[in-house]
Amino acid sequence: MRINLKEMDKSDIDEVMKIERESFHIPWSREAFLNLIYSSSSICLVAVTEDRSVVGFICIRYVTDEAEILEFAVKESFRGIGIGRKLLNEALKKLDNLGIASVYLEVRPSNTPAIALYKRAGFIETGRRKNYYMEPKEDALLMKLSLKKL
């Protein structure tokens, strides 16, 4: 199956929202995604199948030389086949081209597949935020990646 990446646009939001609701206990609103895709300081990418179905997305905000991965998910039936890695790698390449030096994120410690993906990409654990997540209550694991120009 061929998966392509593209910039998220308004026409993708309905499918993004389905993945968002499937992936997160407290999903973002449609307006939150719209605000990001129209922001000049964000990167939002979607992974699409040959029939243009959205199967994953990543949204990142950046300020000066720092960025934060805000939302990142792959449709449950498409997990484990490299779509998340493809989205993350492309987003990191775009951030590097913008001169971003550091990328941050928070992740549930129970989300071991995501943590493994981030570690393979070079992220390191930098700390925890106690009781950060609700439903269910859980700490947030803080991770950071230092981007270096080649």
Tens of pLDDT, residue by residue over 62-111, are 999 999 999 999 999 999 999 999 999 999 999 999 999 999 999 999 99
Report residue 41 as tokens: 């300081």
* Number of domains comprising the chain: 1
Instruction: Provide the 3-class DSSP secondary structure of residue 117.
Output: helix
Element holding 127 (H helix, E strand): strand 124-133
Half-sphere exposure in the Cβ direction for 90 (13 Å, CA)? 21
Q: Which residue has the tokens 């499937």?
A: 22
The CATH number covering residue 96 comes to: 3.40.630.30
Average pLDDT over all residues of the chain: 95
Query: What is the extent of the structural domain holding 127?
Result: 4-146
Nearest to 44, CA basis, from 57, 25, 28: 57
Supply the pLDDT for residue 149.
Answer: 55
Is the pLDDT at 150 greater than 50? The verdict is no
> Considering the entire predicted model, what is its pTM?
0.94
